[in-house]
Structure 1
Amino acid sequence: FMTVGRVAVEKNLEAFLALNLPGSKVVIGDGPQKAELERRYPKAKFLGEKTGADLTSHLAAADVFVFPSLTDTFGVVQLEALACGTPVAAFPVTGPLDVIADHPVGALDTDLRRACIGALSLSREACRQFALERSWENSARQFIGNLSALQPSRSLRPVRHVAAGSAVRG
């Protein structure tokens, strides 16, 4: 079971670290609460900050990505874990509800342990496919579609690219 992010009180990491789970608990990241949590939870592995291929390989090696935050507004790291084929376990709050919703790529439960255990049985391939469908291009396309739906009588015109220093006349 792995979590990734800033090691700080607002991330609610203790909700994860205090769980009785089979296997190991891994925390990737750094922050003001790291030393305290390392002392209080000596069985957990605190790996510090990871980036690039190193981070990706750790996320892909995890069985479950645990997102214990109650206050994150979106949590892009959930999509990063899913892109590595790792299912998400989280509380059913803003952020996880926006990313996971009712898709079979994560387990959302008010009992985080139950969510963690539930996520173990989810398809890693489904997680990866789900994340790959959520590109910036697809997000922009959906946004433009929503704008068009709001004002169906107006069609959106393509944006003209103007060279730097050129005057635009309309």
Structure 2
Amino acid sequence: MQHQSRSISVNGTAHPLPSDPRRSLLDFLREDCGLTGTKKGCDHGQCGACTVLVGGLRINSCLSLAVMHDGDEVTTIEGLGTPENPSPLQRSFHEHDGFQCGYCTPGQICSASAMMDEITNNWPSDASESLTGDIQASDAEIRERMSGNLCRCGAYANILTAIRDAAAGADR
């Protein structure tokens, strides 16, 4: 019987899953893939610094084991844009000073990217006026949906402005 190779796609590149089934997705991305944009903050799923996209949905990578993502497509901050060609959301964070120390910024941007898709797909949140119909990217809606991403520097006003501006362009 031939053993089938297992892998995880990260930013479009296949990587073999780690041999240690206890390795978190966060540690796999940083240590095995060399993608250090995703940050380790609390390592308990409370700060959002490790937010990445799996199949377009945001998750805290510190709470997920890499082996759980066999065959999945994972997108990190490095997969959203580059310094030479930033995504519109990354550009908006830069233009509106949506960061101070920058530690939480990759998780904020990954989370905001998924959040904008949620709003486009009319997925309601606790801040939504209705469970049906169009969802608008209001300040209350953005604040509610981004509440899992903490910024110790307190750059929330600029983060909100950056997301609002990017959402108005609707191109991430």
Q: TM-score range by the shorter chain?
A: under 0.3
Structure number with bigger Rg: 1
TM-score in terms of structure 1 length? 0.26
